[in-house]
Amino acid sequence: MESKENLVYRLGSGCELSDIVIGEIYEAKVQGFAKFGTFVYLNSHIKGLIHISNVKSEHVEGDKILVLVRNIRDNGNIDLEEIIIRDYEVNSVMCKKSQTRLGDLKNKVGYNVSLDVEIAQIKQTSGPTIFTMIDETGKENGAAFIEAGKRAYPEVELGDIVHVSGEVMMRNDQLQVEISYMEVLPEEEKQQVLKRIEKALDDRAYPEDLPFMIESEVLEKLKPAMKEVAFIIRKAVFTNQPIILRHHADADGIVAAVSVEKAITSLIREEGGDPDTESHLFKRAPSKAPFYEIEDVTRDLDYALKDNVKYGQKMPIILMMDNGSTEEDEPSYRMAKVYDLTILVVDHHHPDESTDEFLSAHVNPYHVGGDFGVTAGMLGAELARMIFPPVEKYIRHFPAVAAVGDRSEAPEREKYLRLVEDEYSEENCKDIALALDYEQFWLRFNDGREIVKDILNLKNDHVRHKKLVSLLVTEANAAIEEQLQTSMPHVERSVLENDSLLFTIDVEIYAHRFTFPPPGKTSGEIHDILCKENEGKPVVTLGIGPDFAVIRSRGVLMNIPLMVRELREEIIGGGVNGGGHLVVGSIKFVEGMRDTVISGLIEKIGKFPIE
Amino acid sequence: MESKENLVYRLGSGCELSDIVIGEIYEAKVQGFAKFGTFVYLNSHIKGLIHISNVKSEHVEGDKILVLVRNIRDNGNIDLEEIIIRDYEVNSVMCKKSQTRLGDLKNKVGYNVSLDVEIAQIKQTSGPTIFTMIDETGKENGAAFIEAGKRAYPEVELGDIVHVSGEVMMRNDQLQVEISYMEVLPEEEKQQVLKRIEKALDDRAYPEDLPFMIESEVLEKLKPAMKEVAFIIRKAVFTNQPIILRHHADADGIVAAVSVEKAITSLIREEGGDPDTESHLFKRAPSKAPFYEIEDVTRDLDYALKDNVKYGQKMPIILMMDNGSTEEDEPSYRMAKVYDLTILVVDHHHPDESTDEFLSAHVNPYHVGGDFGVTAGMLGAELARMIFPPVEKYIRHFPAVAAVGDRSEAPEREKYLRLVEDEYSEENCKDIALALDYEQFWLRFNDGREIVKDILNLKNDHVRHKKLVSLLVTEANAAIEEQLQTSMPHVERSVLENDSLLFTIDVEIYAHRFTFPPPGKTSGEIHDILCKENEGKPVVTLGIGPDFAVIRSRGVLMNIPLMVRELREEIIGGGVNGGGHLVVGSIKFVEGMRDTVISGLIEKIGKFPIE
Amino acid sequence: MESKENLVYRLGSGCELSDIVIGEIYEAKVQGFAKFGTFVYLNSHIKGLIHISNVKSEHVEGDKILVLVRNIRDNGNIDLEEIIIRDYEVNSVMCKKSQTRLGDLKNKVGYNVSLDVEIAQIKQTSGPTIFTMIDETGKENGAAFIEAGKRAYPEVELGDIVHVSGEVMMRNDQLQVEISYMEVLPEEEKQQVLKRIEKALDDRAYPEDLPFMIESEVLEKLKPAMKEVAFIIRKAVFTNQPIILRHHADADGIVAAVSVEKAITSLIREEGGDPDTESHLFKRAPSKAPFYEIEDVTRDLDYALKDNVKYGQKMPIILMMDNGSTEEDEPSYRMAKVYDLTILVVDHHHPDESTDEFLSAHVNPYHVGGDFGVTAGMLGAELARMIFPPVEKYIRHFPAVAAVGDRSEAPEREKYLRLVEDEYSEENCKDIALALDYEQFWLRFNDGREIVKDILNLKNDHVRHKKLVSLLVTEANAAIEEQLQTSMPHVERSVLENDSLLFTIDVEIYAHRFTFPPPGKTSGEIHDILCKENEGKPVVTLGIGPDFAVIRSRGVLMNIPLMVRELREEIIGGGVNGGGHLVVGSIKFVEGMRDTVISGLIEKIGKFPIE
């Protein structure tokens, strides 16, 4: 047989035996030598033999030569003849014609397929190695086996773009490709495939442009940042990347987080995930502190790295809600960044600019002239709709709960309340918020997922929802009442230089400990009563513990962060730090300097102007 | 072909193709229309075609019509002819003849069966959905598949009565029905089947009438209540309902709980359960407090609800042992009742009547004129025999251990000691009780299942049992000795108005902390010594901590609950509460009011008459 | 047919049908009777029939008789004839010829094999019972089935030597023997097989004789003890025995433990283990205290016993590193010994002789004239090489880190530093040690396996290693700086009778709590500063808490254990105990006696000579 003059083919790595044409000339690479001839590779995995009688020159291993395909036998052996030509044109055969997409696998059971995919997880079982593959159409598993418990294709790593061939099977009623061949694509092909997959994934991940549930200038301005967060989360779900949601453990934080939890888990289900997938890919964790503690990031990293090794999972995205935007988070962010974690923040606390260098996206009303009145719960519910629009019908009332829970005074509060007033009165919303706070106290730092859903009426069991909220509100109010009866008689009153009324209470020795309400809330409740009793007057309440004080105030133009900075400098060995908002916050110190710090603090408070 | 005049059949949902007789007339419901004819349902799942040539009238979907069966083809297609008759008699075909019971499945491997069962668990795997089915003869699994990870038959819920058809297979050496069809039975049939299953289950669940291990008037009077508890527990095991056993973490409570644990786990094994079933269906948890804390019910509910969602498990029964019968348990019970949990109590503490509204059954010697001398451990062991009689030989000595552990002075104490005196002396029993207390201290609130079994000699390894108890007793006594050497020099003595001797010790600053013995036990040991030193005199010992005091007394006719109530009223802002028995108990207060409360308490104690 | 006169065979339990020779006479045991004849056993599992026409005498079940093999049919049925001879010689047929070794199973897929093995694990699944079998060539699983979830061969126990027959299969790409027959070998055969397996395992387990990484007299003298530890660990891996590694939670302890972790897990992998095997067979747990606390041994035993029951696992070996050699460990050792656990210690703290009775091997420099300067980290790295030599390249720098971390002043310090100076400067090593201490603080008592590997540069990701260590060192130093700024102003200075300078600081009320650095380290940092400020003078620093004091000193020839003993005797009700080294240590007491104890302590310190 004769080939066309001067036309030579280069076989792409995606090509199979059936893509080779008898009579054509191909580039080949010498692999090794036998008595009866020379073995060459036609691409990365198709091997042929040049019988000794057809070898035309001397080679060493690795030489590139040209060969003519003389025959392909029934057993798959290829008979070649060496060809020597000077000038020729090379034609790359990409073999894309036979490529299957993962979304089509269900129609190919029993067939051999050829796939270009990204590797999204690599799990070694005691039998085969399981590779989770993604492309622009979906996610499926492939199984490869060398030896029991031994990692197949050790050169393939998480995130690689590979070419895979194998037979599509059903195993325990699940689709699976029994991988007969896999290779990492060379750079050029990789870029092509990656671009194709990424492009398609990005298109899918980009959130729909929905109007918000209410009209809000602040929200409109935040839309681009919210879309960015929604985009990153949707893409994580499509590419099997775990998400850890850390949130403030109060009603607003819970509402924010549960909205997004509902959206993400619904999206995982829609993508074919089962309950196990869900628990591997998503975890919600209430935080002890109002920021990301080093202990928390340490635990998150410890688990993530172990899962990465044990289950071959990607490193997670960290999503912070109702906290995360201040300097106090930075030590933990620095730690997370050693492992290149993506960090997202949705918060309504006053942000420190320096924090932004760690964040891939940050939604915060302060960025656009809003304030904490646009609460995390409002942002979370709107974000949830961007992630998975059908979630709306379940969470429409969430922002109203967040609004009253966080005592928002922004115009958005009324709008969200009006949106659901037919079903949830303002009183109902307050009850739900109190029930969340109370229940979270007893849950400690567990997510209490199903109980919380019932409190928020996310399970459509209205009777249970009503019974549960009503019980929790009754218990919470009884506990607050008991605490106040115990503490109020010990409140001490004085009048400061600036004529404001100062009330102090030792919340360590004059309140029940380790029960609801905890010291911060106890101080707040006392302050509320004293404000009512002293209508119209400037009131400051200090709830003092052994090494901390909680500050609540009304009508005094104080600046807590400033006082903390000054006290830290003035009181040597006081170990003073803390902060919060301008007029509400807390201060910490070492126990032995308590009197010095407290009297210094009171002196400073007395010097601020009153309203 | 001609059918019998005016006789028409109604095919029950249990009927299969083979139950249809060619030539007979059946009721049918119009399902849909094709070019070539009309499809109708003969029952909920058998479909036939009326060829267009055999359609006699015009229909809309859902119409009920009559059809004659002309032919059943080899492929299962049914050829029908519409029949129009005015007057006819309907004969229901129930097809019960072909029904299989779950207990017979093992003889039907490879066959198609038809079952009427209750659904006891629904677990979604990444492949099929697994339905656990129960009937009056047993428990087996069925697997149904639509799509990987997707819930099959989403209309079927936990607790439904369903009709199932499918093939019996062996999968990994386990019986399984590959469900080809399942439907919820209509109300009428459901009631029939439910009645049949319930009746049979109730018969099986009802405990045998065994005599108690000893003669006891109190036990005889408690028998009906004990049988009720045993019945509910046995039925839970038969119907795959989880049981959470919460118990007091002292020797008596452990003995009570381990008796019942042994009975329940043995029964689960006898029912074919493996170690996994066991750990899903039964959990024993020692409680920190002597009552059901809100934190505990919160955790129990959190886990139970998650298991309910993730594994499709039933909500659990709560069984309280050696606690559970007082007002202090009510907040937790109210919470459990939001989720309709069944609560059972086996306790020997003085019960508050108000608690009973939450309980499905309550065994308590006070209900029948007995007192705490009939300890929870005695009740538990007798209850265990009702649940699973063969357990007796393992636990005969348990009541004696409980008796000495709880210092019972009831006549039952001697009888139980005599029952086992050949094998266990009173000294042995005391040692076992002390070993349990000491070991539980280090186990914190883990169940320590296997170690506890060895302490109780439940594993038939006498040598290990002896070595273990002897070691623990030695260590416990050494620790008590060290504590007493440290504390005793700090005990202060005074004589009260009523001539009783008052001893006070600050157990916070004059005792080792966070080690064995803890403050309560330390106070008790000190009291015992002081009683011996002051033979015949009235003695009161107060073990005082920063916000609590432990009260032990002898020979003073005091009333602790009364004093607590009075101090609570008299000391404004004292945060006083607590209680216990009349002459043994504890009192809590806020740290800042300690001196006021303690001196108030001492004054009151001094006013009670002495014996 | 005729047999040789007077020669009779006794068929061993390892024999199969194919070992029976037609025409020979065999011993047999009567099993039962049928109308058509008598069934007999030729060995424990081969049954044959004597047709009624060939029965020569009357028997009862269990009778031993002689039979001639007339025929073996194609279906495996054996036709026998009873033979009656008086005098005969018995020839035992052991059938060892057909025995397969586990290492050969991979070549026998699809064949029936006969094995003599030790049972190393027995796991009941919901289907078959899985027996892990070991012999001198490897470890494989066998599956035996009677009934779903029911224990097959209940007479076979962990550690038994058994004969197994069955077919070799691949199940989920894993080798497995489907056991058709298994029996515990009779004593004589057992001893033979055991000897063979043990001999071969011992040979494999015995560590290679490698030179140490550096020259050291102390190490050379410790070699035999280290080999003993390595041997026991290697054998544990070969025989599926779990290992719990408990270690001191500081840099030296971590380095020691991670060296050995790396060696053990590598060996498990080489033996074919997967990640699951690894997590069942090896656990590393940092200890809260510098000794084995009762709470820790309690938890270890609780889990081990539950695993023993649930997964049929062997009881574990306890390996203590950088602690374990003192009296304080004995209560826990006594507990472990009730369960016959093997305990190994690799420590460099001054050992108490009495402890050795609990230990199977103990490596300690004090045994050979060395001291704590030969740190646990040095010992651990050298031990790791004995366990798995290829580990060396990963851990060569570990001893240098341990040396600077524990402030070793032994000559080995310099040698280990020189060994790796091209890659790690002394400064680098110090940074790594500080990073470990700081990270472990936040890990609390989790092992933080993967993070710790990165700190120690065990994952070959140099960039991440550098970033991580640098970040942790920066954060640690900032935290120390903050603590010192808070505490230093409160340090009080006095001069003692012996002219040494005494500095005291209340670390409870003048230091930040629950953060890094903790009280002990805070005291050490303060002491270092004061030493520098008072160059050349004797300095004692006391870091005082409510019920403890940390003692650091330079230049005073004090004896802390002696002072503790004296104070314990002198101060009645002081609850004094504690100890440590001669000049560095801590003392505990009850809070109420703090002033008495501290002034007593100071008085004693003032009486020691200064250097």
Strands (E), B57-148: 64-72, 78-83, 89-93, 112-124, 129-135, 138-144
Residue C1 pLDDT: 39
| Residues of A with Cβ-Cβ distance to C271 under 8 angstroms | none
B271-322 tens-digit pLDDT: 877 778 888 999 999 998 889 999 999 999 999 999 998 888 999 999 999 9
Which pLDDT belongs to residue A95? 66
Q: Cβ of B273 and C338 within 8 Å?
A: no
Residue B97 pLDDT > 60, yes or no? Answer: no
DSSP alpha helix (H) spans, C95-246: 187-205, 217-238
- Alpha-carbon distance of C318 to A270, in angstroms, equals 48
Inform me whether the C-beta atom of residue C338 falls under 8 Å from chain B C-beta atoms: yes
Of the candidates C175, C510, C513, the beta carbon closest to that of A573 is on C510
Going from the C-alpha of B93 to that of each of A355, B11, C97, C285, the distances in angstroms are 75, 5, 66, 67
Q: Is the predicted pLDDT of residue B127 greater than 80, yes or no?
A: no
In the 8-state DSSP scheme, what is residue C227?
Answer: H
Q: Where are the beta strands (DSSP E) in C230-297?
A: 243-248, 282-287
Distance from first CA to last CA of chain A, Å, rounded? 101
Chain C neighbors of B488, CB-CB under 8 A:
573
pLDDT at residue A507, as a whole number: 97
On whether any CB of chain C is under 8 Å from the CB of A405, the answer is no
Distances (CA, A) of B262 to A226, B269, B389, C475: 56, 11, 11, 53
Helix (H, G, I), strand (E, B) or coil at B114: strand
For residue B295, what is the nearest residue in chain A, using CA coordinates? A442
What's the DSSP call for residue A388? -
Instruction: Tell me what the mean pLDDT of segment B408-413 comes to.
Output: 96
Single pTM value for the model: 0.85
Q: Give residue C280's identity as a one-letter amino acid code.
A: H
Q: Which residues of B touch A443 (CB under 8 A)?
A: 298, 302
Q: Select, from the ranges A75-84, A268-277, B190-199, C492-501, the one with the highest average predicted confidence (pLDDT).
A: C492-501
User: C107 touching A, CB under 8 A?
Assistant: no
Q: Mind spelling out the 3-state secondary structure of A359-381? A: CCEEECHHHHCCCCCCCHHHHHH
| CA–CA–CA angle A447, A450, A454 (5° rounding) | 115
Q: Would you state the pLDDT for residue A4?
A: 47
Q: Chain B: residue nearest A455 by CA?
A: B338
Taking the CB of residue C400, how many other CB atoms lie within 10 A of it?
33
Phi-psi sector, B322: left (phi>0), alpha (psi -120 to 50), beta: left
Chains contacting B (3 or more CB pairs within 8 Å): A, C
Q: What type of residue is B72?
A: I
The answer to whether the peptide bond before residue C517 is cis (omega within 30 degrees of 0) is yes
From CA A111, how far away is CA C95, in angstroms rounded?
Answer: 48
- Residue A2, pLDDT > 60, answer no
Q: Which residues pair with B40 in a beta bridge?
A: B30, B48
What residues of B are in contact with residue C590 (Cβ under 8 Å)? 486, 509-512
Is C462 at the interface with chain A, CB within 8 A? no
- pLDDT tens track for B374-409: 999 999 999 999 999 999 999 999 999 999 999 999
CB of C179 less than 8 A from some CB of B: no
Q: With contacts defined as CB-CB under 8 Å, which chain B residues touch C572?
A: 489
Query: Burial of C219 by CB count in 10 Å (0-12 exposed, 13-18 middle, 19+ buried)?
Result: buried
Task: Report the gap between the CA of C282 and the closest CA in chain B (Å).
Answer: 21
DSSP C350: P
Residues 293-322 of chain B whose Cβ lies under 8 A from any Cβ of chain A: 294-295, 298-299, 301-302, 305-306, 308-310
- For the residues of B372-435, what is the DSSP string, one character each? TTS-HHHHHHHHHHHH-GGGHHHHTTHHHHHHHHTT--SHHHHHHHHHTTTT--HHHHHHHHHH
Q: Which of C123, C265, C450 to mutate to test the interface with A (most CBs of A within 10 A)?
A: C450
Amino acid at C254: I
The pLDDT assigned to A189 comes to 85
Residue B19's pLDDT is 82
Inter-chain contact A275–B310, Cβ cutoff 8 Å? yes
In order, the DSSP letters of C379-393 are HHHHHHHHH-GGGHH
State the Cα–Cα distance between residues A172 and B105, nearest whole angstrom.
22
CB A323 within 8 A of CB A253: yes
Query: What residues have CB less than 8 Å from A58, skipping those under 6 apart?
Result: none
Q: Does the pLDDT of residue A465 top 70, yes or no?
A: yes
Taking the CA atoms of B426, B427, B428 and B432 in sequence, report the sign of the dihedral they define.
positive
For chain C, the straight-line distance linking the first and the last C-alpha, in angstroms and rounded, comes to: 101
pLDDT mean over A264-272: 91
Other CB atoms within 10 A of residue B398 CB: 31
Chain B's closest residue to A172, CA to CA, is B127
CA dihedral A230, A234, A240, A246 (to 10 degrees): 30
Mean pLDDT over residues A250-259, rounded?
97
Instruction: Check pLDDT > 50 for residue A303.
Output: yes
Q: Tens of pLDDT along A407-440? A: 999 999 999 999 999 999 999 999 999 999 999 9
Asked if B306 lies within 8 A of A450 by C-beta distance, the reply is yes
pLDDT number for residue B4:
47
Neighbours of C602 (CB within 10 A): 17
Centre a 10 Å sphere on the Cβ of residue B288 and count the other Cβ atoms it contains. Answer: 12
Taken in order A109, A113, A118, A123, is the CA torsion positive or negative? positive
Distance from CA of B345 to the nearest CA of C (A): 28
| C509 CB within 8 Å of a chain A CB | yes
Cα dihedral value A527, A533, A534, A535, nearest 10: 100
- Number of CB atoms found within 10 A of residue C292's CB: 26
Structure tokens at C325: 């050699």
Beta strand segments in A145-299, E: 161-171, 174-184, 243-248, 282-287
Task: List the domains of chain B with CATH numbers.
Answer: 6-93 (2.40.50.140), 102-188 (2.40.50.140), 211-424 (3.90.1640.30), 491-605 (3.10.310.40)
Predicted confidence (pLDDT) at residue B460 exceeds the cutoff of 60: yes
What are the helix (H) ranges across A315-447? Answer: 330-338, 376-387, 392-395, 398-405, 411-419, 426-443
pLDDT score for C287: 93
- The region that residue A352 occupies, defined by phi over 0 for left and psi between -120 and 50 for alpha, beta otherwise, is beta
Give the CA radius of gyration of chain C.
Answer: 33
Residue A97 confidence (pLDDT): 47
- Nearest by Cα to B312 from B148, B202, B154, B117: B154
C460 CB contacts (<8 Å, ≥6 apart)?
A: none
Spatial neighbors of C128 by CB under 8 A, at least 6 apart, are B172, B173, C143, C144, C145, C152
Structure-model confidence comparison of residues B100 and C341, the more confident one = C341
Tokens of B565: 């109530």
Low-confidence ranges of chain C (pLDDT < 70): 1-5, 13-14, 94-98
Q: Find tokens 């006169």 and name the residue.
A: C5
Classify residue A529 by burial, with Cβ atoms within 10 Å: 0-12, 13-18, 19+.
Answer: middle
Q: Does A277 touch chain B (CB under 8 A)?
A: yes
Return the minimum-mean-pLDDT range out of A463-467, A533-537, B594-598, C274-278: C274-278
In terms of Cβ atoms closer than 10 Å to its own Cβ (0-12, 13-18, 19+), residue B54 is: middle
**In degrees rounded to 5, what are phi and psi of residue B477?**
-65, -35
For residue C2, what pLDDT is reported? 44
Q: Name A92's bridge partners.
A: A10
Residue-wise pLDDT for A47-88, tens only, equals: 889 998 999 888 888 888 999 999 988 777 899 999 988 888
C100 versus A362: which is more confidently predicted? A362
